[in-house]
A and B are shown apart, each in its own frame.
Chain A
């Protein structure tokens, strides 16, 4: 007996296994980042003074990064849509752009980090810097994970297109859901840390 519903949807749930799996995983991720944002609120409310993010952090760089990540979410959707329309070459292009955007994000982020270190702004300097480095660092790890996943699906993993195109398309959809979530976390994180 093979495991059912690996690529087709189960009629009563309307989902294939991996799609339900990734939604559940994202629910747990919401709880993870939810806890971190709640901690941020609690610490900020309890603090006698709290700096404005824009006084310390580099807003133009972060704005650029926001645009880069939102753009990568668009190309991610395009990659999936291309596969739905059987356009494997277009898929390679859009997935490549998604991976590239992820890398650009990390490069910009590393400029930001090193600028902070040059000014001797470390996590231990203040609670603000602590929460900034922790949340953006954890988000950065999620970006790295997404790049590895997407890179695999762009390169060696894309062989599956020849053998099981439906399942491969599903994989891109699932990877896309994760990537959009990583994007969404940044969209919360950017105003909370940089603008407020």
Chain B
């Protein structure tokens, strides 16, 4: 992208010398800053989100790779001496990680992966780039707002990164920031809260924009039941972001008041810290924070997974060459899942002593919400049945998503039941569960999306050999990292332990897995090298492809060029005549019928 932009810039300068040269085709050649930095074009903004989010994903993963050294070899000096020296004596004296620094890495790994990595990639990048094209829109409904939401997100990221350089380092109270610990934590926590307010604001602007775009800018003939499933997924996701994030914003403001103005919203009376009684007014409720946090953070889980399901659905329909099995049930399941996600949050809080009646309620809703998830997964599996599957690189990732998400989802059921949650709560079992959903699940789906839509963005295909290398090595390593977590968790090893459980008798039998998981994690890091090379190399050298290389039916491939026109996407507004997945229609000359192809009378 960077190469491309300088290219365009110099091109613009050259033609500018010929005076009127640039004005011939009716619209101005935009200057570099307007075109690639402060652009209001949804495609450029999507690309900006994509690159920024990928960088944050790599950074967040790097934090974990550093942590995994401490977990595998507790108390041993870090092998990369230069890195230890760079981090300094307040973090890694003589290369040995301090517990305080371990906590910062843990809290920031979670925060960065969720709020700066996966969501911006799944929603900001794919939603921004693909959704308007799939509905035949010239752009998002509010292009300036779209630019603002990217830059507010960017500022949030900068604040989060800057917090590492504060006295006491970054936030260290976990990504959940439970009070009262977070209220008395070092100043990094204040930056975390300010960063979160930026990120929440960005999400709100984005979700308003997405919903208005989908409701208002659908092409002629594109009814709701003709929308590609990916658009539906983005639609429901946007509602979750719109309605679930504000309570966390409220909670963030209250915690900020607790930290800065000395209030006691989350601070109970009579708290004693390091032998000194706190002087604040007291009377607050630490549980209030947990309720407000999880009211966001449970729907957030679906924000992480729904766009991934949308991507996988597109790729499966395209590569099985047949319609999705049960499109309508998929859509209804999705909507039901969106509603239910607002009333399951307290299953994260079974151990807070909230009483059996409330526990039973949330346990029941949690069991109910697993039904639409299983409906979606089953429909995607059934879509494979009888298809002549093309094992393309994106399809490999999409196929791997299904069992990985299956493992992640099914291992969640014991956590949703009050009784079995009690021994499993806060163990590595929980870490294994949600990482299976988000890492081998969502991340594989996001990679699938990158391989699938790359030709749309660049006009070139990514290299298949490097893609398959990336897939198989990542797939194996991801399971190597997360599967042993179930074993450790079932043995009772707690999460957030600085030494990986070394000093606990009950952990002794499963400690040997720590080294295995760490090596898998570092191998997983190496496995991303083919992807990074492929991503940049293919921009210049990838195989040039036609505008519809996957022979797909949806509008982003069928109605516009690759890459789409800089302004307005389409030469003329597309008209939609059929559902999204008319593959292998009997009697049709090709095995795919684009949505914009008129039916012959």
Which residue numbers of A lie inside 8 Å of B, CB to CB?
1-5, 10, 13, 15-18, 20-21, 24-25, 27-29, 31-36, 39, 42-43, 46-47, 122-127, 130-131, 133-134, 138
Contact = CB atoms under 8 A, between A and B. Distances in A.
Interface residues of B, number: 47
B20 to A, nearest CB: 25
B243 A31 contact: yes
B285 A43 contact: yes
B216 interface: yes
Contacts of B317: none
A89 B254 CA distance: 44
Per CB-CB distance, the 3 closest pairs between chain A and chain B, nearest first, are: A124-B262, A1-B568, A130-B263
A123 B208 contact: no
A116 to B, nearest CB: 13
A3 B138 contact: yes
A180 B410 CA distance: 47
Interface of B: 137-139, 141-143, 204, 207-209, 211-212, 215-217, 242-247, 249-251, 253-254, 257, 261-265, 280-281, 283-285, 288, 291-292, 295, 567-570, 572-573
B246 A43 contact: no
B246 A32 contact: yes
B250 A127 contact: no
A123 B216 contact: no
Contacts of A134: 253-254, 257, 263, 265
B257 A130 contact: yes
Contact of B243 (A5, A16, A28, A126): A28
A17 B141 CA distance: 7
B217 A3 contact: yes
A39 B288 contact: yes
A4 B253 contact: no
Nearest to A19: B212
B208 A32 contact: no
B288 A43 contact: yes
A127 B569 contact: no
A31 B247 contact: yes
Contacts of B280: 124
B242 A127 contact: no
B253 A138 contact: yes
B217 A125 contact: no
A127 B216 contact: no
A25 B245 CA distance: 12
B208 A127 contact: no
Contact of B250 (A13, A32, A47, A125): A32
Given A3-B143, A39-B250, A43-B283, A127 B264 contact: yes
A17 B216 contact: yes
Given A1-B570, A35-B292, A127-B281, 15 more contacts: A1-B569, A3-B141, A3-B143, A10-B216, A20-B212, A20-B215, A24-B242, A39-B288, A42-B285, A42-B288, A43-B285, A47-B283, A123-B262, A124-B281, A127-B284
7 contacts: A1-B570, A4-B216, A17-B216, A27-B242, A32-B246, A130-B257, A133-B261
Contact of B284 (A28, A31, A43, A133): A43
Contacts of B569: 1
